[in-house]
Structure 1
Amino acid sequence: MAYHPTSLSRRLGAGLAITAVVAGGGSVLLTSQLQAQAQANKPQQILLVSYAVTKAAYDQIIPLFEAEWKKKTGQSVVIKTSFGGSGSQTRAVIDGLEADLVGLALEGDVLKIQEAGLIEPGWQRENPNNSIITNSVVAFFVRPGNPKKISSWKDLDNKSVDVVTANPKTSGGARWNFLGLWGSVTTTGGSEAQARNYVTTVYKNVEVLPKDAREATDTFVKRGKGDVLLNYENEAILAKRSGEWTVPYKLPDPNVLIEGPIAVVDKNVDKHGTRKVAEAFARFLYSPAAQKAFVNNGFRPVTAEGKTFARGKFQQVKTFTVQEFGGWANVNKKFFGKGGLWDQIFSKSR
């Protein structure tokens, strides 16, 4: 007998078919959700490119963030690092080192990466304090007993004083040293012509130009070169703490306020799919734990909590900022650009 489906059976069949489709769709949706969850929990790796003297601080900060991220998200993250002179690190990122974040010695280096199209304009507004995570000042390392009686900027204007400082072409710290020297004249009533003459005289007393701040410390401390070393205050603090160099350091007054920024490298994090964790790490650097680690490694803090923790740990000194010279965009061009003041002074000092 031929089978002729009734209207009821047709409705039941249609319902079963719809149920199967829905069930199938639900399976696809569930699979998609599971895949997305698996991807979200997949371990990630990011690269932080920074300048030489931050290594000790980041060695303490990074494990703290990795543990906190795992606790909050369930995802494991590994932060790889690269350290070197800020200028050299900047060039490496521009030339293809795929940093997810850059924690360089000065805003001027981050601006160069921005100009290369890797960081979007406005990165300063992405984090508190215009994305500055640490402060410091220029310190003078002197020999035991300070035989040359060096305590102020003016004391460097002496043919008998052998000065050690890194190369401004490769070192961010050296550029801060240069601005400290220059500003010691122009912020105390001197003219730019007087500043040029003074800085030229000082650099005539510089025999070698190490590539970065850490190598400059080694040149003075381990190789015994020079009567005075110009370097970051945090280098002096760490050298004293480790017993590497226990002679009291000098802080010339007025001094330049050294500002160290952090920035996410937009093009790279979008390529790697690491924006969320990179931005979280940048924000973590303002946390009490991170600021405490910076202080413990000789950096001056930028947050209220950090400053409370640091009370009494740093010498008081009057400071001027890079804004005295028109900001980093102007400084990059006027002082350190091709044919700029540094090039002119270097050629006359050699």
Structure 2
Amino acid sequence: MSRFLSCNFFIRWVVVFLSGISLSLAIAACTGNPGNGNPLELTLVSYMVTPSAYQEIIPQFLETWNQQHDRKAVIRQSYGPSGTQTRTVLHGLDADVVALALALDIQQLEKAGLIEPGWEEEAPNNSIVTRSVATIATRPNNPKGIQTWADLAKDDVQVVLANPKTSGGARWSFLALWGSVIQTGGTAEEARAFTQKVYENAVVLSKDSREATDAFVGQRQGDVLVNYENEMILAGLNDRPLPYFVPEVNIAIENAVAVIDENVDKHGNRELAEAFVRYLFTPEAQTVFARYGFRPVEPTVESNQGDRFPVVNTPFTIEDLGGWDTVQQQFFDEGAIFDEIQANLYRP
């Protein structure tokens, strides 16, 4: 973070009053040739748990870019819940690059014609830039004795989660709960009953994953927190250490990145956008992602992590649940299973 705060860079904060977005940030490198005219601008739209990593990665990228190009570049940033960010781009936010919690969110932008088909093949690793898993944090000394997913359904356990209707991380958490039953031989009826009980135990259903962490840590709500592994690690980096564990049955969380073709062609910054996306897969950027708790996808960085990221004994993927189209229709569309679960929560 010292690089980010050094005299080589300046930070300009801009508040954007758009649906669900609380923050927009512009960073420009002060090194390199100033070039002629206005700087070349790029807007990155990402989800709520990524700012710490990008605020370090972006200055690194711009330092190199501005040394190699006559025209200086500026990267603006916007953060919010992944679902909200997706809707905001659909409604006109001029994003050039999106790095979102779900490939499903990027697929919505593709269906709207903002991204050309085949975007997955335009970056390394099928455009999956980081990975994570779902984790459970407890209070110190684990007074409720939480050991497995199943313990979250106990009558006396208060759970803190984010809302799958707004948060990409919350969708991963929902699917982790559901899959913990299905992937161990349970039926769909048993999975539904278990997931329903966990949401009945929810004392917080926040709009995004970061807000869920703040509710659990800062406001001391609940007995357990279900969230991304990287959120647990980041809490420790911010002097708010959390006792947490990675359940043995777990979903492989994959976070994707893509260039918004329609916008970069309109803005004339495709070269900058594509170079930035490529940089996210370099060892330099992947090392930063790993430092902030994201599981790296670059092989050399991944192999250097030691036992920092526990091995999941029984992993499963979105494809094991039928793929994103099936998952969206079954669980998260209007009137689908999550809506039915919510309706049951308020039934007298």
Q: Provide the TM-score with structure 2 as the length reference.
A: 0.87
Q: RMSD across aligned C-alpha pairs, in angstroms?
A: 1.5
Partner of 1:284: 279
Corresponding residue number in structure 1 for 2:4: none
> C-alpha separation between the residues in 2 aligned to 1:205 and 1:52?
24
Question: 1:277–1:232: structure 2 CA closer, same or farther, 3 Å change rule?
Answer: same
C-alpha displacement of 1:349: 2.4
Contact 2:164 2:170 in 1 (8 A): yes
Question: Is the CA contact 1:135–1:301 (under 8 Å) kept in the aligned structure 2?
Answer: yes
Counterpart of 1:3? none
Partners of 1:266 and 1:41 in 2: CA distance? 24
Of 41, 45, 60 in structure 2, the residue corresponding to residue 45 of structure 1 is 41
From 132, 145, 151, the equivalent of 1:136 is 132
Native 8 Å contact 1:111 1:329 kept in 2: no
In structure 2, the CA distance between the partners of 1:124 and 1:41, relative to structure 1 (3 Å rule), is farther
After the TM superposition, which segments of 4 or more aligned residues of structure 1 sit over 6 Å from their partners? 38-41
Using the alignment, how far apart are the partners of 2:56 and 2:165 within structure 1?
29
User: Does the 8 Å contact 2:123/2:278 carry over to 1?
Assistant: yes
| Contact 2:35/2:70, CA 8 A, preserved across alignment | no
Counterpart secondary structure, 2:84:
helix
Q: Which amino acid aligns with 2:274?
A: E
Show the counterpart of 2:81. 85
> How far did 1:287 drift?
0.4
Counterpart of 1:71 in structure 2 is: 67
Q: Determine the structure 1 residue equivalent to 2:259.
A: 264
Write the letter of the residue equivalent to 2:128: I
Who is 2:115 aligned against? Answer: 119
Give distance in 2, aligned partners of 1:72 and 1:247.
Answer: 43
Q: Which shifted more, 108-117 or 260-269?
A: 108-117
Once the two structures are TM-superposed, the CA of residue 309 in structure 1 deviates from its matched residue by 2.5
The answer to whether 1:159 aligns with 2:155 is yes
The aligned counterpart of 1:251 is 246
Letter aligned with residue 198 of structure 1: F
1:42 Cα shift? 5.6
> Distance in 1 between the 2:214 and 2:147 partners?
21
Superposed counterparts of 1:288-303, under 5 Å: 288-303=283-298
Q: Which amino acid aligns with 2:180?
A: S
Gaps of 5+ in 2: 1-33
Alignment of 1:99-114 (within 5 A): 99-114=95-110
**Residues 104-253 of structure 1 correspond to what in structure 2 (within 5 A)?**
104-244=100-240, 246-253=241-248
Question: Given the alignment, which residue of 52, 55, 64 partners 1:56?
Answer: 52
From the two aligned structures, give the one with the greater helix fraction: 1
Q: Deviations over 1:133-156 (max 9, x none)?
A: 000011111111111011210111
Describe the SS at the equivalent of 1:83: strand
Distance 2:123 2:37 in 1: 26
For 1:329 and 1:39, locate their aligned partners in 2 and report how far apart those are by CA, in whole Å: 46
Work out whether residues 232 and 242 of structure 2, in 8 Å CA contact, stay in contact via their aligned partners in 1. no
Of Structure 1 and Structure 2, the greater strand share is in 2
Give how far 1:296 is off: 0.5
Query: Secondary structure of 1:165's match?
Result: strand
- Look up the equivalent residue of 2:273 and give its one-letter code: A
Which ranges of structure 1 fall in alignment gaps of 5 or more residues?
Answer: 1-37
> 3-state SS of the aligned residue for 1:335?
helix
- Given that residues 255 and 320 in structure 1 are in contact (C-alpha distance below 8 angstroms), is that contact kept between their aligned partners in structure 2? yes
* Distance (Å, rounded) in 2 between the aligned partners of 1:40 and 1:124: 35
TM-score, structure 1 as length reference: 0.86
Give SS of 2:162's match.
coil
Higher relative contact order (CA 8 A, sep 6+): 1
User: AA paired with 1:254?
Assistant: V
SS in 2 for 1:263: strand
Q: CA deviation at 1:90?
A: 0.7
Structure 1 contact 141–230 (Cα < 8 Å) conserved: yes
Corresponding residue SS for 1:78:
strand
Partner secondary structure for residue 310 of structure 1? coil
Contact residue 151 and residue 251 of structure 1 kept, 8 A? no
Aligned equivalents of 2:42 and 2:176: distance in 1?
34
Counterpart residue identity of residue 286, structure 1: F
8 A contact 2:160–2:226 mirrored in 1: yes
Q: Distance in 2 between matches of 1:40 and 1:209?
A: 49
